[in-house]
Every structure is written in C-alpha cells, then in structure tokens.
C-alpha cells in the first residue's frame, strides 16, 4: 500500500533512518514524560518510545490493557512539546480488534506520533515479563486485519509489528512465520520479542530474519551492546524502561538519605533552574 509520508515528517525521517545502510542500529529510549524526553535528547538518542509499562506504572495502573489511546496521546503531546525526535508508541494489542486498532492509529497520528508498535498478544494482555500471568497469542488473521485498519486510519505512521511468540514459549520458526505474515499485511518493521536472558534467542532471530527492518527490545539481554546488535542485523534497539528504573532508584536513594540525615544533598539533585527549563520554550531554545 502506498503511504503519504512526507520525507520531512518524523515518520519520514524515522523510515529513512531505518532503511539507510548505516552500520549501527538506531537507539530509542523510553520517555514517560517531557523530563525523560529532554534527558533522551541530551544523551543523543535517535527516537523516543512511549512504553505501555512506564506509562501504566506512572499512572499507578497494571500493564494489562488498562491504558486508552487518549492516555498515550497525552504523553505523545508532552514529548512533542520538547523535541521533534520521532516518537514510537507502544500500543500493546491496541484493544484486540480492528476498530479499536484504527482508533489508536487515528488518535496517535493526530497527537504527533511517528510510529506505532502493535503486538500480537491476545486481549487482555499482560507485560511480557509478568511473573503472575502468562501471555497468550491472538490469531494471526486478527492481527493482520488490525495492521490493515491502522494503515487505513493512520497512513502517515510507520508500523512496527511485534510478535510475542517466543514470550509465549513457542518456536523460533513460528515467531518468524508470524513476523512474515505481518510484513505481508503491511508492517514496515518487525520485532520478535524475547525474554531469553542469554541473548542467544535474539541473535538467532537477527541471523534468520530476512525482510523489513528488524527491531529489538533488549530489556532481558542488556549485555548485548550496539555492535553485537548491529552484527545480528538489528536496525533499531528500543531501551524501553531504563530511565524510569534509573529514576526509581535515584528517587529512593534521595528520599532514603533525607530520612536518615534530614537533608536533601544538593550534589545529587538537578538544579531547580534545570527543571524549569524543561517546561520553558525560550530556555529550551537557548540550550
């Protein structure tokens, strides 16, 4: 299907970067709000990821299909206020039906997203790393219909199709077959998610896939660096939740130290002017 992506739009820039023959994969960082987005920009990331897990946790909700497209659109709007980096949105299974997927596509394109990542978990989903529930797979016809609905509702968006096949304990051959179906249905890129902490499964995916650009989420195998992922054929690596986890640790340490000493040590705190700059367009422009 032909698309109407402008070469200058965030989606157009992301597509061009994904398909360019550069040696190393692009790197996207999870940004749950404008503060995290600024950190991502300053650190030189290529794109931002709106994570279902991070946004759910920040809202005090489980990562189980509780968020709506409007919740995600609000985050996209905040990120787009402070940067024009492409924003990739984790829409989970987009509500599990064609019409619900169309609504996610429409709302997120309108909010300024560059790309959606649609996964083939069966509604209601759970997080891929949940210790309490087991992920189940949706049938491929349903997912292919969702891909087509998103395409029609949001022709400017890049579409990453993610399969949870390996998360559900099925074979690599099944995972690659699902990814192929999604490519044929119109996905621009595919992501075969893995929780194998050795990273071997992910590397096998990279070596065996031959098709649209391959994306990885190395949550479970952080030791695989930029070059190892490049050598395995990945074009985009999404660091989905590391900034929230870093913030959680830093906030706990600062609060704990205060409870012990009665003082917030300024050495470990960003300056108050620094925080103000995130929300001030004039100050941002001067950075």
- Asked if 199 is part of the footprint of Mg ion (rule: CB under 5 A), the reply reads no
Q: What is the nearest approach in angstroms of ligand SPV to the Cβ of residue 242?
A: 10
Q: Long-range CB contacts (< 8 A, 24+ apart) of 167-174?
A: 167/128, 167/135, 167/193, 167/194, 167/195, 168/134, 168/135, 168/136, 168/137, 170/137, 172/201, 172/204, 172/205, 172/208
Pair 72, 50: CB distance under 8 Å: yes
C-alpha neighbours within 13 Å on the C-beta side of residue 73: 13
Q: Is the dihedral of CA 98, 102, 104, 105 positive or negative?
A: positive
Contact pick of 187, 191, 240, 278 for ligand SPV (by CB under 6 A): 240
Q: What is the nearest approach in angstroms of ligand SPV to the Cβ of residue 286?
A: 32
CB nearest ligand SPV: which residue? 51
Q: How far is CA 168 from CA 85, 138, 150, 193, 265, in A?
A: 33, 11, 25, 10, 45
- The contact pattern for ligand SPV, residues 117-156, with x = CB under 6 A and - = no contact, is ----------xx----------------------------
Q: For residues 9 and 100, which CB has a smaller minimum distance to ligand SPV in the complex?
A: 100
- Asked if 52 is part of the footprint of ligand SPV (rule: CB under 6 A), the reply reads yes
63 is catalytic: yes
85-144: contacts with Mg ion (CB under 5 A): 90
- Asked if 52 is part of the footprint of Mg ion (rule: CB under 5 A), the reply reads yes
Q: For residues 6 and 59, which CB has a smaller minimum distance to ligand SPV in the complex?
A: 59
Contact pick of 69, 100, 241, 244 for ligand SPV (by CB under 6 A): 241
Q: What is the nearest approach in angstroms of ligand SPV to the Cβ of residue 159?
A: 16
- Strand pairing category for 87-90 and 214-216: unpaired
Q: For residues 78 and 241, which CB has a smaller minimum distance to ligand SPV in the complex?
A: 241
Closest CA to 88 of 206, 239, 276, 211: 239
Q: Per CB under 6 A, which region of 39-47, 48-56, 196-204, 244-252 contacts ligand SPV? A: 48-56
192-221: contacts with ligand SPV (CB under 6 A): 217, 219
Q: What is the nearest approach in angstroms of ligand SPV to the Cβ of residue 72?
A: 11
Q: How far is CA 40 from CA 87, 88, 226, in A?
A: 11, 13, 17
Q: For residues 98 and 218, which CB has a smaller minimum distance to ligand SPV in the complex?
A: 218
Task: Choose, from 63, 92, 188, 204, the residue flagged as catalytic.
Answer: 63
Q: Which residues bind ligand SPV (CB under 6 A)?
A: 30, 51-53, 90, 127-128, 217, 219, 240-241
Q: Catalytic positions, please?
A: 63
Q: Which residues bind Mg ion (CB under 5 A)?
A: 52, 90
């Amino acid at each position: 299907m032909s698309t109407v992506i402008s070469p200058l739009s965030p989606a157009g820039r992301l597509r061009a970067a994904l398909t360019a023959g550069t040696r190393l994969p692009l790197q996207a960082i999870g940004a749950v709000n404008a503060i995290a987005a600024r950190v991502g920009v300053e650190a030189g990331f290529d794109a931002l990821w709106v994570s279902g897990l991070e946004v759910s946790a920040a809202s005090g909700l489980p990562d189980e299909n509780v968020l709506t497209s409007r919740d995600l659109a609000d985050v996209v709007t905040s990120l787009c206020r402070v940067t024009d980096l492409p924003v990739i949105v984790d829409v989970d299974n987009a509500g599990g039906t064609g019409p619900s997927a169309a609504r996610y596509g429409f709302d997120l394109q309108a909010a300024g997203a560059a790309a959606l990542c649609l996964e083939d978990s069966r509604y209601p989903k759970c997080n891929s790393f949940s210790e309490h529930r087991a992920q189940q797979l949706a049938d491929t016809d349903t997912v292919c219909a969702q891909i087509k609905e998103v395409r029609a509702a949001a022709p400017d968006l890049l579409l990453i199709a993610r399969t949870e096949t390996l998360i559900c304990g099925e074979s690599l051959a099944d995972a690659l077959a699902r990814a192929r179906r999604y490519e044929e249905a119109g996905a621009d890129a595919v992501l075969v998610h893995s929780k194998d902490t050795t990273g071997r499964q992910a590397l096998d995916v990279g070596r065996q896939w031959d098709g649209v650009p391959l994306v990885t989420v190395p949550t479970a195998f952080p030791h695989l660096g930029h070059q190892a992922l490049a050598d395995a054929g990945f074009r985009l690596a999404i660091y989905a939740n590391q900034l929230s986890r870093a913030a959680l640790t830093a906030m706990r340490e600062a609060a704990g130290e205060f409870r012990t000493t009665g003082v917030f040590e300024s050495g470990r705190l960003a300056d108050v002017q620094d925080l103000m700059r995130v929300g001030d367009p004039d100050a941002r422009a001067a950075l």
